[in-house]
Amino acid sequence: MNMKPLKILFLLSALFTVKLVVSQTEIDTSWNGAIDIMGQKLGVGVKFITEGKELRAFIDIPEQGAKDIPLEKVSFKNPKIHFELPAGPGLAVFDGLYYTDSIGGTFTQAGLTGRFQLVRGEIISEQTDIDPLTLPYNTDEVTFYNDGNTFAGTLTYPKDEGKKFPAVVMITGSGAQNRDEEIFGFKIFKKIADYLTRNGIAVLRYDDRGVGGSTGKKVKESTTADFAGDVVAAVQFLKTKDFIQPMAIGLFGHSEGGIVAPLAFTKTNDIAFMILMAGTGVKGIDVLKEQSKLIMKADNASDDDISGYIVMLNLIYETLVKDGNIKELEEQLEKNVSENYDKMSTEEKKAINNKDEYIKRTVKETISQFSTPWMKYFLSYDPSYALEKVTCPVLMLFGGKDLQVPVGQNQKPMEDALKKAGNSNYTVKIYPDANHLFQQAITGSPNEYGSLQKDFIPGFLNDITEWIKVVNQ
């Protein structure tokens, strides 16, 4: 939650369609370009698709890890184009004109106004996709089912005929993630899957519920426990494949995925090993407070701003998760937002049309963001409860510069929980210069993720591969 909207953070999304009376074929394609607000540019891709008389559109924002996010209220009445995207800082409203080979116009969000420009063509990722036909392993597009949802994924496995292979199910971190867990253009899970499969290990990765090819209610409307059920279904799916060793199926969870994996273990007897990449060992509210302190400090926030923000997080938690006084929370948030407004530059204030409306909108959206089923569950859930039941081999991976899941806060509670389970078969690996995405980091702040090389810290992939081979000998 950032009361000072200098950077657009598209966090929430919803899908709506509208009935059209004219053909949309002339804009039905992929477009790429950028948003420009107060001199800051953010690359985006927008895809328009007509189904019958319904126009749909989806947006990609690689620098923020957003992929195929549905847009609302999409309309095209040549030359006028309109679409909207609900987001953490406020509804982003786009109004533009179609110029045959380009689309340009203005957008507003949280009282700020900027411009956007798109041209025909796919947005270019910093990672070049490889033709599956040239890969030295098999790549299957697969589906499996759970809780009324259909999950679409990619299963990669070696080409050695007649052999059975150990396998891992990849579990994404928080937020709506695609099967590659693509964050800031870095296809984390795709890179891991490629390396593991080249070394004899099958990998299943899949789109989260309601993302990409997967159906179901949105991630924010589900909980971590729901995701654990999806993982169990993925494991059962792998057991139906004759090239998979049924007793050598493990889980690989990143961030929130490191919470989901132990929960899934408590629901089935079919998990042979577990890799927790930046997993947590304490309640979500405690993780959120610690990461907020560290990230704000790395971004040069004052001590007063940091302490004030932590006070606000505590109040939000006591009110929205533990049913406190909502009126008191609203009043305090209004005061906080007003104080942040007063600290803004003259240029920033000019971009906000109405201070009072800005305050009310920001307070409403903050309360909404922290009131979702996912957020309430995450903030109050203690992952040590499930870890205390995990008896399979576990590899815990931490980044020494990870400011989102600090090793100092989470390593010991996780180890203590495994010891309570009577589990001594665990390994801890800390990469001193790695951030939350296990890139070679400078400060570890999320603000530098997009500018770093789209690759893992040296030794990371090999360490994982060798550990899996050892535990499955």
Smallest CA-to-CA distance from 177 within 257, 279, 271 is with 257
Percent of the residues in the chain that have a pLDDT greater than 70, as a whole number? 88
42's CB contacts (< 8 A; 6+ apart) are 7, 8, 34, 35, 61, 63, 64
Q: Tokens standing for 471?
A: 């535990």
Render pLDDT for 179-191 as a digit per residue (tens, 0 to 9).
999 887 789 999 9
Residue ranges making up the domain that contains 348: 285-362
Q: Are both 236 and 268 inside the same structural domain?
A: yes
Confidence band of 51 (pLDDT split at 50, 70, 90): confident
Does residue 294 sit in helix, strand or coil?
helix
Torsion of CA 412, 417, 421, 427, to 10 degrees: -40
> Helix 303-316 vs helix 284-298: angle between axes, to the nearest 10 degrees?
160
Confidence band of 17 (pLDDT split at 50, 70, 90): very low
Confidence band of 128 (pLDDT split at 50, 70, 90): low
If one compares 117 and 265, the residue with the highest pLDDT of the two is: 265
Establish if 3 belongs to a structural domain. no
| pLDDT of the residue at 227 | 96
Answer positive or negative: Cα dihedral of 138, 172, 397, 404. Answer: positive
Render pLDDT for 55-66 as a digit per residue (tens, 0 to 9).
888 998 876 667
Confidence band of 132 (pLDDT split at 50, 70, 90): low
Q: Are both 292 and 277 inside the same structural domain?
A: no
Q: Tokens standing for 355?
A: 């201070």
Average pLDDT over residues 271-286: 97
| pLDDT of the residue at 14 | 23
If one compares 64 and 172, the residue with the highest pLDDT of the two is: 172
| pLDDT of the residue at 38 | 57
Count of domains observed in the chain: 3
Q: Are both 163 and 253 inside the same structural domain?
A: yes
Q: Average pLDDT over the chain, rounded to whole?
A: 85
Q: Are both 275 and 289 inside the same structural domain?
A: no
Confidence band of 302 (pLDDT split at 50, 70, 90): confident
Average pLDDT over residues 155-168: 94
Q: Are both 450 and 312 inside the same structural domain?
A: no
| pLDDT of the residue at 220 | 80
Residue 223 has pLDDT above 50, yes or no: yes
| pLDDT of the residue at 130 | 61
Q: Are both 82 and 22 inside the same structural domain?
A: yes
Q: Are the C-beta atoms of 81 and 105 separated by less than 8 Å? A: yes
Establish if 61 belongs to a structural domain. yes
| pLDDT of the residue at 326 | 85
Q: Are both 175 and 265 inside the same structural domain?
A: yes
Average pLDDT over residues 164-168: 97
Indicate the residue among 313, 331, 362 that finishes a domain: 362
Confidence band of 377 (pLDDT split at 50, 70, 90): very high
Q: Are both 210 and 326 inside the same structural domain?
A: no
Establish if 377 belongs to a structural domain. no
Q: Are both 157 and 278 inside the same structural domain?
A: yes
Average pLDDT over residues 230-236: 97
Is the bond into 79 cis (omega within 30 degrees of 0)? yes
Q: Are both 147 and 184 inside the same structural domain?
A: yes
Indicate the residue among 327, 362, 397 that finishes a domain: 362
Q: Are both 88 and 169 inside the same structural domain?
A: no
Strand segments, DSSP code E, in 207-286 are 244-254, 273-277
Torsion of CA 459, 464, 470, 472, to 10 degrees: -160
In sequence order, what are the beta bridge partners of 157?
Answer: 138
If one compares 321 and 450, the residue with the highest pLDDT of the two is: 321
